[in-house]
A and B are shown apart, each in its own frame.
Chain A
Amino acid sequence: MNQPRIHLSAKLRRGDFSLEVDLKVTQRVLGIVGPSGCGKSTLVGIAAGLSKPDYGELQFEGQTWSSTDLRQDLASNRRQIGLVPQDGLLFPHLDVRGNLVAGRHSLTRPEARQVEHLAERLGIAETLHRSVSSLSGGQRQRVALGRALLSGARWLLLDEPLGALDYVRRRSLLPLLRRVVDTTDVPLWFVSHDIAEVKSLCDEVIVLERGRIVFQGKPEDMAASATLSRAPEERYENLLSGSVEQLGEDLSSVIVGANARIFTRAVNVAVNQPVFVSIYADDIMIALNRPIGLSARNVLPAQITKLPSTHSSLVTIRLEDGTSLQVQLASSTIAELELQMGKQVYVLFKASACRLWADSLDLQAEWNHL
């Protein structure tokens, strides 16, 4: 067992709401999911030192940051937290550049160039001298993200950073978040109510319900957890992080996970560009033998790793490279095909069932870096 990077225990009562957690996190990127009002933001507030638990302790990478027992509390301004809230919370009296560097005391010339570079990577280079009130929701979140990254944070706390955006904007910002996850090496906690998002970005997940942790583990084990009550009409979305391999006339290929090739419809993106592929669980079929003469472009060998619990109709399968997918199957189908844990199967889905998400605003910057 690894030494936990972060150990946060807290008890807090505010009126009807109570939070009681004892959380040991060994992985760098932690996802925190749960319904609204379950205490996700309170947990982040305690981590950042902005709200005080009635009782608790916080150990960050071997250091005690706060402890009600020891009457110790590191002030929030000394914790070096990079906080990205849902609405960005940009400073309205500063322009975009002023906001980006708000976490710096001073800037050397190379650091100033770094600001320009980051702004370019974030797709906000054109807006540097604009007032933040003129930005769109997606742009505001990019600035908030940039501010947190530039502040030299030792711990990134992303509290529903995409929560205020519509579905399309949320998905197109995912590749950017992926890159933030990949290019940083500090602990990163990512709060979201979007299970697919968390699964695609995090190494470890906790599920909070009414102030209690009801699940902690690997993201691929999460969807099968009965406690995650989704609306029955909601379609489960598989989100796979990858990069574009080839662009064709009518088909493109994307490499996701370690080495799984997925064919999608031709799209207007660049080769090697980081993308996310979204496939709905009910768009995927299962075959016991490799089918021949089929119109579906994606036929991938896989293994069943989890059968649905009573509250779910999602079967978890693992592709050869280790990538996990959720497939929605009726229980009668599962019985008829005699699906069992460990059984070898083939998953099938059409190229047109795959939606490709790229960071559209960032496209120009990406081209420049090729």
Chain B
Amino acid sequence: MMPGWLDIALRSLGVSLLATALVMMISIPVAYVLSRRIFLGKELLSAILMLPLVLPPTAVGLMLLTLLGSNGALGLWGHELGLLFTWRAAAIASGVMSFPLALRTARVAFDGVDPRLETMASSLGYSGWRRFMTVTLPLARRGLTAAAILAFLRGLGEYGATVMVAGNIPGQTQTLALAIEARQSAGKFGEALFYALLSVGVGLVSLVVAERLSAPTRQSMHAP
């Protein structure tokens, strides 16, 4: 076994989990607004939010680097938090990369909730917040789970944007994706292959768990 392999695998999972949490916190409200409201510039906003999907990851990474760098718009904040070249920066990078997938899936989930059920909840006296928490969110549950799973799985393999803002620092920011590249460019083909196989293992386990999480519940199996 490679020394430090467990460390790298756990860091990969941790980075992806944090990224997923960040992505869901932002994409749930944004997706809900996009699904329910009509406003000027909605299409343009949707397009901008989908950009990370079509841009080269390195371009996204570069923009993040500019934003979070000491001269960037969020530089002071990023500097104070000591974000750049840490594993948290890796989480932000993979979060930004998986955001479009999660947003799109969450929006479809909210689109699938009959707005008349929300109307019914209002007539029963539910405030906006209670209605969202007890009717909309539970009804969109499966789609939102799928969104989180996609974000997590997409985050696991993230390389391009991550390497730009977090670097490839062994023991600090090195995830599985980064470790493979580092070993391969150092000529350690065998080690690179080991990490590639480890990614296969981690990916497979994650996929199986994800499949479990998104399987229809017994109750919804009755649905016609």
Contacts and interface: CB of A to CB of B under 8 A. Distances in A.
Interface stretch (A71-79, A236-244, A259-267, A320-328): A71-79
Contact of B124 (A85, A93, A147): A147
A134 B120 contact: no
A38 interface: no
A91 interface: yes
B117 A77 contact: no
B37 interface: no
A134 B139 contact: no
A134 B124 contact: no
Nearest to B135: A91
Interface string B208-224: 00000000000100111
Contact of A89 (B120, B126, B139, B219): B120
If over half of B's interface residues share one DSSP class (helix, strand or loop), that class is named, otherwise mixed; here it is helix
Interface residues of A, number: 25
Contacts of B141: 93
Nearest to A78: B125
A133 B125 contact: no
Contacts of B185: none
Given A89-B116, A91-B135, A131 B122 contact: no
A102 B124 contact: yes
Contacts of A133: 222-224
B66 to A, nearest CB: 44
Given A92-B139, A131-B219, A79 B224 contact: no
A50 B219 CA distance: 31
A103 B125 contact: yes
Nearest to B126: A77
A91 B135 CA distance: 8
Contacts of B126: 77
26 contacts: A49-B123, A50-B122, A76-B122, A77-B122, A77-B126, A77-B131, A80-B125, A81-B123, A83-B123, A85-B120, A89-B114, A89-B117, A89-B120, A91-B121, A92-B117, A93-B138, A93-B139, A102-B124, A103-B124, A105-B125, A131-B222, A133-B223, A133-B224, A134-B222, A151-B124, A151-B125
Given A77-B131, A147-B124, 11 more contacts: A50-B119, A50-B123, A77-B127, A78-B125, A83-B120, A83-B123, A83-B124, A91-B139, A92-B117, A93-B135, A93-B138
